[in-house]
Amino acid sequence: MLPLALVLFLLNCHIVSSASIINTLPGFSGELPFKLETGYLGVGDSDDVQLFYYFIESERTPIKDPLVLWLTGGPGCSSFSGLVYQIGPLVFNYANSSGNQPTFLLNPYSWTKLASDALSAAQTYEFLRKWIKGHPQFLKNPLYIGGDSYSGKTVPIITQEVSEGNEVGREPPMNLKGYILGNPFTNPTYDVNSRIIFAHNMALISDALYESTKTNCKGEYVQVDPSNAPCVENLQEVTQCLQKINSPQILEPICSTMSPKPKGFKWDKNFVGENFLDMPHRYPELWCRAYNYMFSFIWANDKTVQNALHVREGTIKDWERCNQSFSSSYAYDVRTSLDYHRNLTKKNLRSLVYSGDHDMLVPYVGTEEWITSLNLSIDYTWRPWFVNGQVAGYTKAYTRKAYSLTYATVKGAGHAATEYNPRECFPMIDRWLSYYYI
């Protein structure tokens, strides 16, 4: 019974905080059947950093349903992806969009039908405090902090900030219940080293190459000694085997374009063309996931869309789903979030960690290893979980006094499991938020 989603992206502009209710959107026929609010909230010194957010109210019981703050990974990726590709109430109508005008459908699996690293976390916590002060009707709603991918670094920090703020009496008090993480980057020792183990599990490298690499590199594939020639040679062979595999979802084809555009290349409407959206219907063999992301590029850069969302004129030049230039100025100052997880296991909190089992960017293997390193007690052992009588994945649960952690794989899903397998992820989160076993 998930409720409300808050999604954010950063804008560096100095403006007064504001909020607007959106009743209609280009590409959707008629009035929106849910409450959508967008706005800006300033954080930092003199409110010099402005966070633009989307707020979608629960479609069930807004005054009681859980409140979820959702952050998309990256860093530098817009949470608009979460809104239209993963857990939001609208999805692009790929089959019936034509010309250069993307259209929308209602998402039957929307979660609203239910309920620098350190600097980014601090700013998000400040945003959350200000947002709740401005929306006091949600003070008592159960609060969950959620995110996927690179947000695995920041979500535990924000959760700890909220928890400690409550403990010292910081206003406003928040009804924090726990946190949610999907295929989360957590610690490179686990995340990156496990890629070779995963590749072997999936028969992408041979038994002989795997055993040789493990022996020669001593199981360490991140901090490699360049003078260790046998290890370096093995890793080169591994790279040759994997370089043409699509890491976010190993069963899908590698796309010729990055999302939303190749590095150093500028998409514009002249390039896209008036009938761009008709192409895959005529040439279905050309489909790849990055094609879907072009819908968001076209739609979000439309001035009528930006006006409808009350985006301040001049605050963005070209909207990008993932801002590649952001990385050059971003301080990756949190190498691991494991210590934050360890701190959170001492608190009265719940956590859900899920992994698409065909993701080679953050393989389930490494996620299971760092969860094991927390030394929690086992609540229930490894078992399948089901949707409509079919195995949707596997799950295991852990506890430590008042803390609980539920881990689940999503069978066949890739890096953003909610995007690849929404039909399975919807009941997964619904059951967990309702305090049922998955």
Which residue is it, tokens 């990756």? 332
Domain identity same for 143 and 230: no
Q: Indicate the angle between helix axes 364-373 and 194-201, nearest 10 degrees.
A: 130
In a shared domain, residues 221 and 134: no
User: Same domain for 115 and 210?
Assistant: no
Averaged pLDDT, 157-164:
94
* Res 152: pLDDT: 93
Amino acid at 193: N
- Same domain for 43 and 167, yes or no, is yes
Please indicate whether residue 14 is annotated as part of the active site. no
Burial 77-105 (b: 16+ CB within 10 A, else e): bbbbbbbbbbbbbbbbbbeebeebebbbe
Q: Which of 189-198, 304-313, 390-399, 423-432 has the lowest mean pLDDT?
A: 304-313
User: CA torsion, points 257, 262, 263, 267, in degrees to nearest 10?
Assistant: -170
User: Predicted confidence band at 237 (pLDDT cuts at 50, 70, 90)?
Assistant: very high
Domain containing 109 equals 4-188+333-433
Q: Residue 273 domain-assigned? A: no
- b/e sequence 324-361, b meaning 16+ C-beta within 10 Å: eeeeeebeeebebbbebbeebbebebbbbbbbbbbbbb
- Residue 289 belongs to a domain: no
149 conformational bin, left if phi > 0, alpha if psi -120 to 50, beta if neither = left
pLDDT at 34: 76
Q: Tell me whether residue 383 is in a domain.
A: yes
Residue 324 belongs to a domain: no
Residue 246 clears pLDDT 90, i.e. is over it: yes
Catalytic residue among 65, 148, 359, 430: 359
Residue 405 lies in a domain: yes
State the total domains in the chain.
Answer: 2
Q: State residue 85's pLDDT score.
A: 62
Shared domain check, 358 and 230: no
For residue 253, is pLDDT > 70?
yes
Pair (346, 211) in one structural domain: no
Q: Would you say residue 55 lies in a domain?
A: yes
Rounded percentage of the chain residues whose pLDDT exceeds 70: 74
Q: How confident is the model at residue 57 (pLDDT cuts 50, 70, 90)?
A: confident
| Residue-by-residue DSSP string for 278-310 | GHHHH-GGG--HHHHHHHHHHHHT-HHHHHHTT
Alpha carbon 195 to chain centroid, angstroms: 20
Identify whether residues 127 and 42 lie together within a single domain: yes
CA 209 to CA 200: how far, in whole Å? Answer: 9
Burial of 111-144, coded b for 16+ CB within 10 Å and e otherwise, reads bbbbbebeebbbbbbbbbbbbbeebeebeebbbb
pLDDT mean over 324-336: 63
The answer on pLDDT for 172 being more than 90 is yes
Enumerate residues 6+ apart whose C-beta is below 8 A from 424. 387, 392, 393, 410, 411, 413, 417
Asked if pLDDT for residue 129 goes beyond 70, the answer is yes
The residue annotated as part of the active site, out of 78, 149, 212, 247, is: 149
118: helix, coil or strand? helix
Q: Model confidence over 211-233: pLDDT tens digits?
A: 999 999 999 998 999 999 999 99
When pLDDT is averaged across residues 168-183 and rounded to a whole number, the result is 94
In-domain check, residue 350 = yes
pLDDT tens digit string along 351-375?
999 999 999 999 999 999 999 999 9
pLDDT value of position 11 = 36
Say whether both 228 and 137 belong to one domain: no
One domain for residues 14 and 139: yes
Residue 56 is assigned to a structural domain of this protein: yes
Average pLDDT over residues 407-431: 94
The pLDDT of residue 284 is: 53
- Indicate the range of 1-15, 27-41, 250-264, 266-280 predicted with least confidence: 1-15
Token pair belonging to 74: 């990256």
Confirm whether 65 is a catalytic residue: no
CB 157 within 8 A of CB 340: yes
The yes-or-no answer on residue 333 being catalytic is no
* Alpha-carbon distance values, 186 to 148, 168, 312, 370, 408 (Å): 11, 27, 35, 8, 16
Say which CATH number the domain at 382 has.
3.40.50.1820
- Considering the domain architecture, whether residues 30 and 168 belong to the same structural domain is answered as yes
pLDDT at 117: 66
What pLDDT is attached to residue 52?
77
Residue 332 or 269, more confident: 332
Which of 83-97, 273-287, 421-435 is modeled with the greatest confidence?
A: 421-435
Crossing angle between the packed helical segments 117-134 and 151-167, to the nearest 10 degrees: 50
Which of 29-38, 307-316, 412-421 has the weakest average pLDDT? Answer: 307-316
Classify residue 223 as exposed, middle or buried by CB count within 10 Å of its CB (0-12, 13-18, 19+).
exposed
Based on the domain organization, do 57 and 149 belong to the same domain? Answer: yes
**Which of the four pLDDT bands, split at 50, 70 and 90, describes residue 207?**
very high
- Does one domain contain both 182 and 213? no
Residue 109 has pLDDT above 80, yes or no: no
pLDDT mean over 398-425: 95
User: Is there a contact between 344 and 156 (Cβ–Cβ < 8 Å)?
Assistant: yes
Q: What is the mean pLDDT of the chain?
A: 81
